[in-house]
A and B are shown apart, each in its own frame.
Chain A
Amino acid sequence: MTSLATSAPWRVLDGFGRAVQVASRSVKPRDVDELRAVFAHAARDGLPLTFRGSGRSYGDASIGEGGVVVDLTGLDRINAWDPVTGIVDAQPGVTIEGLWRRILGDGWWPRVVPGTMRPTLAGCVSMNVHGKNNFRVGAFGDQLESIDLLSPDGELRTLSRTENTELFRAAVGGLGLLGVITRIRMRTKKVDSGLMRVRARSGRSLDEMFDLFEQHLPDADYLVGWLDCFASGDDLGRGQLHVAHYLHGDEDRDPSRSLDVDKQDLPSSMFGLPKKHLWRVMRPFLRDPFVQLVNWAKFQKARIDDGDTYLQSHVAFAFLLDYVPDWRLAYGPGGFIQYQVFVPDEGARSSLRDVLRICQEEDFTSYLGVMKRHRADDYLLTHALDGWSLAMDFPIRDTSQTRWRERVARVTERLSERVIAAGGRFYFAKDAVLRPIDVQRAFGARKLAEFAAIRRRLDPNHQLTSALAQRVFGG
């Protein structure tokens, strides 16, 4: 490899929401030796490094300007899979999809998956992603046996709950700022069937949605709520809850069929249309009046379906975001931002009610509202807490940078203020707007100082950064 500064290829890279894009050098190493060479060459050229997996973080976590973005999807081998213990040993660029396709036939499923199967395992560790079962099994980090972390100080360390514990707690959810994950060993979950029993419920208000969640919390394996963010007045926060349970024992009469990987695939067409073109059909309709109508219709359907129970494959239940390929393009050239707020259980009803109201007051209503229950964990920059989250999608209409930024900033500052007042937190994988002051108040100066100290130790010359780190930590 010659100089990265002069010869590395350039790419335009975006966050998944497409509201943030930058042009930067991009390299794709194929093994750990090439990764080490990238570290060495970047250090010699004085170029900062940013790590990127599948680019599924919605905001600016996997992009960086003025340096080199290191694409880790080239390191995509499963080193070892043990169908007896359910422990997988994988390279960082293996995706959730690559993992489930390998293990499902043996009767295993990833313990924690986000709403899409595209992210890499290292990306999931670095953002400490959660699933619809966060309240039950914790976040992605909780299933890890260990990770290997190669840091700019030249050390390759194994981190786990028993080895380098402090670094483990910092690197899980460490935003890729402490080093590059070169190897992941994690537990998976034994399943007796490739299907789950799903029950649909509907709530006519936010209070009813909370009540339904609480009713099903003691025994559900997965819980996820959809909210109609356009509904106001007495209907504010109305929506639908999906409650899912694993099938056990002989509840599935033909598990060999349901565990067949090919039987898990998502349908290739929807409404008779080939799915790959569906986003084009959706695009003209992603406007407030249409989306309001769709939300209304979806709620009416939810009322009719209330109480229905059906069987659904793991893939169909887990990966809703993969139903429509390239759906993010339907938002048009401005893209969208996703913004997820976490509030403690105590006072959650009032906090989320205010969040929905603020959006409506500002005429900046989320096109999609997703509600989840969470539990606390001990990772240094964790977003999880014993409480609730609401994820929202805001379309960005105006592509001229300053105007939309002003509007988004005004609304999200109000929302963040309310969330921080409630003792809440935010999720960096779904952030493009937080300011340093918001982050300091939400996460606490002590934790941020602790993280900064670990960064200085592992990355003494400040080689690792990202647009996210520049925005919220100043570097």
Chain B
Amino acid sequence: MQIKKAIVVGASSGIGASIARQLLAEGADVAIVGRRQAQLDEVAAGKMRTYAHDVEHAAEIAPLWERIVADLGGIDTIVYAAGVMPSFEEHEYDFAKDQQMLAVNVLGAMAWLGLAAARFEAQKSGNLVGISSIAGERGRRGNPGYCTSKAALSTYLEALRNRCSRYGVNVVTIKPGFVDTAMLGGQKLPLMISPERAADESIALVKRGTSASGFVPGIWAIIALVVRMLPSFIFRRLNF
């Protein structure tokens, strides 16, 4: 499978930026969307189309989507990689942070991917990719809002898969574990991989063309299985 015309939303840094660079290297015409024009320009290096946009501004999304599809002359792939994870301290409860996470991680994804799903269903093809997280597998005490947003995104993508794969749309959920991006603020964590490797494995999953939902790297599938099976009375005593 060759990806020819792609939009990456949330491509100014992290996994999104790496996916955009890799798609470009593979010969795709890539449009990148992010909040900060300067960072988009750095990622694009003059070789991608850049569109400054904050996914929290939902009213901009449909017209911008149409503009980008027209600029690309069609589209076969969308990657939604925008995500925020503000840190929460012990004893902290901050609705503003929760609201922002839902706006960026969930509502922005629904706005962009819903438009893409409609188009892909009509054209009976297309790769629709969402970067979710291992964090969506259980509700962890460290960041309730983030886990909620990623669980919502994973469920939304699963539902899109069930809705659209019968029309030839390849709906892929990427669930990275620890990736060395700004989101984790330079922490060194077990099984951490580079964003480039996360991008490599994500694109490989997309190219499989089987509407997959997969962990990146794959070892997290085993961890997720164990974590999901842990009874609540044990899980609530853990601190991760």
Give residues in A with beta carbon < 8 Å to B: 3, 5-8, 10-12, 14, 21-23, 25, 66, 333, 399-401
7 nearest A-B residue pairs (beta carbon): A23-B118, A6-B59, A21-B122, A23-B122, A23-B119, A10-B118, A12-B122
For residue B46, CB closer than 8 A to chain A, the reply is no
Contact B63 A10, beta carbon cutoff 8 Å = no
Count how many pairs of residues, one from A and one from B, have CB atoms less than 8 Å apart in the complex: 39
For residue B115, CB closer than 8 A to chain A, the reply is yes
A25 to B115, CA, bound (A): 10
Complex interface: chain A residues within 8 A of B115 (CB): 10, 23
A5 to B59, CA, bound (A): 8
Known contacts A5-B62, A12-B122, A401-B123; 18 additional CB pairs below 8 A are A5-B63, A6-B60, A6-B62, A8-B62, A10-B114, A10-B118, A11-B118, A12-B121, A21-B123, A21-B124, A23-B118, A23-B119, A23-B121, A333-B167, A333-B168, A399-B124, A399-B168, A400-B125
Q: Closest B residue to A7 by CB, please name it.
A: B59
Complex interface: chain A residues within 8 A of B58 (CB): 6
Complex interface: chain A residues within 8 A of B61 (CB): 6
Complex interface: chain B residues within 8 A of A23 (CB): 115, 118-119, 121-122
Which residue, B63, B114, B115, B122, has most C-beta atoms of chain A within 10 A?
B122
A25 to B65, CA, bound (A): 13
Within the complex, the shortest CB–CB distance from B125 to chain A, in Å, comes to 8
Q: Closest B residue to A65 by CB, please name it.
A: B122
Complex interface: chain B residues within 8 A of A14 (CB): 122
Complex interface: chain B residues within 8 A of A333 (CB): 124, 167-168
Complex interface: chain B residues within 8 A of A399 (CB): 124, 168
Q: Closest A residue to B64 by CB, please name it.
A: A6
Within the complex, the shortest CB–CB distance from B121 to chain A, in Å, comes to 5
For residue B71, CB closer than 8 A to chain A, the reply is no
Which residue, B60, B119, B168, has most C-beta atoms of chain A within 10 A?
B119
Chain B interface extent, by class: 10 to 19
Contact B118 A12, beta carbon cutoff 8 Å = yes
A8 to B62, CA, bound (A): 9
Within the complex, the shortest CB–CB distance from B43 to chain A, in Å, comes to 27
The contact string, 1 if C-beta is below 8 Å from chain A, for chain B 64-84, is 001000000000000000000
29 A-B residue contacts at CB 8 Å?
Answer: A3-B59, A5-B62, A5-B63, A6-B58, A6-B60, A6-B61, A7-B59, A10-B114, A10-B115, A10-B118, A11-B118, A12-B121, A12-B122, A14-B122, A21-B121, A21-B122, A21-B123, A22-B122, A23-B118, A23-B119, A23-B121, A23-B122, A25-B62, A66-B66, A333-B167, A333-B168, A399-B124, A399-B168, A400-B125
Complex interface: chain A residues within 8 A of B60 (CB): 6
Complex interface: chain A residues within 8 A of B123 (CB): 21, 401
A3 to B66, CA, bound (A): 15
Q: Closest A residue to B121 by CB, please name it.
A: A12
Complex interface: chain B residues within 8 A of A11 (CB): 118
Within the complex, the shortest CB–CB distance from A441 to chain B, in Å, comes to 31
Complex interface: chain B residues within 8 A of A5 (CB): 62-63
A401 to B123, CA, bound (A): 8
Within the complex, the shortest CB–CB distance from A28 to chain B, in Å, comes to 17
Chain B positions 137-178 with a Cβ under 8 Å from a chain A Cβ = 167-168
A292 to B118, CA, bound (A): 37
Within the complex, the shortest CB–CB distance from B184 to chain A, in Å, comes to 34
A10 to B66, CA, bound (A): 12
Complex interface: chain B residues within 8 A of A66 (CB): 66
Complex interface: chain A residues within 8 A of B62 (CB): 5-6, 8, 10, 25
The contact string, 1 if C-beta is below 8 Å from chain A, for chain B 212-237, is 00000000000000000000000000
The contact string, 1 if C-beta is below 8 Å from chain A, for chain B 36-58, is 00000000000000000000001
A14 to B61, CA, bound (A): 24
A5 to B66, CA, bound (A): 10
Within the complex, the shortest CB–CB distance from B227 to chain A, in Å, comes to 37
Within the complex, the shortest CB–CB distance from B71 to chain A, in Å, comes to 13
Within the complex, the shortest CB–CB distance from A250 to chain B, in Å, comes to 55
A214 to B194, CA, bound (A): 80
A51 to B63, CA, bound (A): 21
